[in-house]
Structure 1
Amino acid sequence: MQTENTPPKLFDQVRERIRVKHYSIRTEKQYVQWIKRFILYHGKRYPQEMGVAEVEAFLTHLAVEGKVSASTQNQALSSLLFLYKEVLLIDLPWLNNVVRAKQPQRLPNVLTRTEVRAVLVRMSGVYGLMANLLYGTGMRLMECVRLRVKDVDFERGEILIRDGKGTKDRVTMLPESLKASLQAHLQQRRALFDDDTRLGKASVYLSDALERKYPNASTEWAWQYIFPSGSFSLDPRSGVERRHHIDEKLLQRAIKKAVQAGITKLAMPHTLRHSFATHLLDSGYDIRTVQELLGHKDVQTTMIYTHVLNKGGRGVRSPLDM
């Protein structure tokens, strides 16, 4: 039993530090999982007793025996870096010298306009609306799932994406062709919100900072998720029962089903974002504009879509066809 003088357990310290730094619940779960695996792999030894040899042995085990991808291996390393630097406050020079796995440089998978239409025409309802938004705005999957009512401006024809990758805000367009569908969806969403209000369960998740700044915002219409879950659930951090946003896995499955029925390529929700960028560049839009719409920090990241456009001999016509 923990008393006032007893220091919190290691994983409680990890969670507390993650929340102080305002990391997402997903990051919290992933970091705790990797730290647990690291400790168990080395026979439940205390992290303070281990060093570079143990970290490298664990990462090697993941790559060789676990056959994890480079991104997964780097995620495990990031978790251990967080443990030592942020939680244990141990400044170990060797941490900065641990080599991250090199991720393969691959061109993004992109659908043609015809293929996009073949996928979207096979989707309807909420999932169809969300899939159209992914392609029509260039949003990431979780950016779409987490949209709130106040983030859509129908008069200006734009969507404000808050806390995107890198905790950055940005603005993208609201496609004219989706305005009527989205407004109709919001009418149904308002009816659900009114029902939740009568039940006293209209509260929605807000970060600690926002809850302190706007104490009544969690039960206001403007802050509600546009695409809500079909049921109530317990917040894993606060324990409050409320309606969260829709589970992204449901949209992923719906898109996968439409892809399998419509085209032969492999595609996922993020493929629609890749297609959005490539089709804009193909239509002659400036790469800096596309960079801003995608929320890329570096234009070099956006430049990869120019390579997709040049695929097939870099746009050069074969002499056999001349």
Structure 2
Amino acid sequence: MAKVLVIAEHDGAKLNAGTAKVLACAGALGAQAIDVLVCGTDGSGLDTVCTQAAALAGVSCVLKNARAENAAPLAAVLAPQIADIAAGYDHVLGPSTTFGKDLLPRVAGLLCAPAVSDIMTVLGPRQFERPIYAGNAILTVTVPDGSKVVGTVRVASYKAVGEQAPAPVEAVSANAALPTHTRFVELRAGAKDRPDLQSASKVVSGGRGVGSGENFRLIFELADKLGAAAGASRAAVDAGFVPNDMQVGQTGKVVAPELYVAVGISGAIQHLAGIKDAGTIVAVNKDADAPIFEVADIGLVADLFEAVPALVKALP
């Protein structure tokens, strides 16, 4: 029976929702034990994050790795520690978010193990399915015997696990030399007054059809009315309407909300790859032949500058 180490993603105060979805994937492995590793710095809310992780269903133990150098989640700093702690595990899993995509390949390299990205289905302890060609084909990947499995989990493909009686929390330390060539300078982030894009249950996205950054206020107004996160297509980001951390799609963020509203988005294949797991897709576009209508559950052929204000006005 396999032992699985799940790498927790957090902001120093709150566990990222993707961690609960990685645990769902780990549970599908039929593991003997699933431990969650939380890296950070004492006094920064690390104990709170450990408590949150311990309450997730399926967790056998939470490993608290507190170290001053872990104040910022730098992949170059965390990877050697994780590789050392992972010595006794068969699988090392993390979310396929910006954090996980940056970190897990480094861990795989240090462990001389193959890296499996975007795991969407577990076929066996060493066999997985992952999407390729913007989700138009599914590839079956088999990890050779005798090698650890290091992978990122496509969180949009899994539902978060529930809760359980708290698992024990143990302090651990890694006997690993840390690099000196990488250091944290600063973090610049936009306003966080809306839900996180990758974990939100509702998302409203705008495309090139919105026309300008100023016009994106329509997207924000509708998102606020719905209590939704705000996103954008690659075309809107490339045009400079909004920052790239709002981009949804194959080269942006993969989302799986219960409701996805696409406004002024034509439906390029790379965008559709990022929303394929959404529950209900609503599209607003004046072009009746736009590809987005082929995947939309509800389509409205209308001028977004008339439709969106009307929707905002109609919503309570």
TM-score (norm 2): 0.23
**Higher Rg:** 1
Which structure dedicates a bigger proportion of its chain to strand? 2
Higher RCO structure, 1 or 2 (CA under 8 Å, sep 6+): 1
TM-score (norm 1): 0.22
Which structure dedicates a bigger proportion of its chain to helix? 1
